[in-house]
Amino acid sequence: MKKVIFLISALVITIISIFVAKPYVEAYQERQKYEFTLDTIDGEIKLSDYRGKAVAIYFGFMYCPDACPTSLALLSESLKDFSKEQVDAFQGIFISVDPDRDSLKDLKEYGAYFDKSIIGTTGKKNDLKKIAKNYGTYYVLEKSSPEDKLYNVAHTSYFYIFDKQGNLSTKLRGFTSPSEITEALKKVL
């Protein structure tokens, strides 16, 4: 009889533990989905390096004629609505999906051109494909030949806004107005 009571008690405790732990496990798995390691001129970065800061991530390429510069300019404009302390608690990350043309040095300058809180990063092609897939973003290099250097990159245009704990808070279209970006950032700053 004691064995039956012990087994039932153990089963009940196990079931309760599973239900209590489930939200924590799911939150951890969701954060890991968006984790990455990429290169900057100053070394490797990971999304988790910025825990404690709100983060906005944008995928693009430096030769982009419209979506990338416009979206980053809109982000920069939205940052003007925040105090210095709030901006210090923010990190913008521009992920270039065109590592053949976008050098780490140029990416650093490109991000800083829009705002000092925006860093430029890229990585190996296979890593970029995996990261883009995890984020649900799309891009394709529209090359006419492997030697083509004057190609376009078709890509989706979204900001991925993360809270200070590294959880995805919202996904905004790149051409979102500064006021909408400001509202999304207010929720995480």
Between these two residues, 12 and 155, which has the higher pLDDT value? Answer: 155
Predicted structure pTM score: 0.84
Supply the pLDDT for residue 91.
Answer: 98
Q: What is the rounded CA–CA span in Å between residue 141 and residue 72?
A: 21
Between these two residues, 134 and 24, which has the higher pLDDT value? Answer: 134
Between these two residues, 11 and 85, which has the higher pLDDT value? Answer: 85
pLDDT tens, residue by residue, 15-63 = 554 554 445 444 444 545 789 999 999 999 999 999 999 999 999 999 9
Q: What is the rounded CA–CA span in Å between residue 95 and residue 38?
A: 8
pLDDT tens, residue by residue, 144-189 = 998 899 999 999 999 999 999 999 999 999 999 999 999 999 999 9
pLDDT tens, residue by residue, 92-122 = 999 999 999 999 999 999 999 999 999 999 9
Identify which of 85, 155, 154, 73 has the alpha carbon closest to the alpha carbon of residue 115. 73
CA distances 32 to 17, 93, 184, Å, are: 22, 17, 22
- Please enumerate, as own/partner, the contacts of 112-115 that have beta carbons within 8 Å and a separation of 24 or more: 114/69, 114/72, 114/73, 114/75, 114/76, 115/72, 115/75, 115/76, 115/79
Identify which of 34, 46, 40, 61 has the alpha carbon closest to the alpha carbon of residue 160. 34
Supply the pLDDT for residue 15.
Answer: 54
**Residues composing the chain:** 189
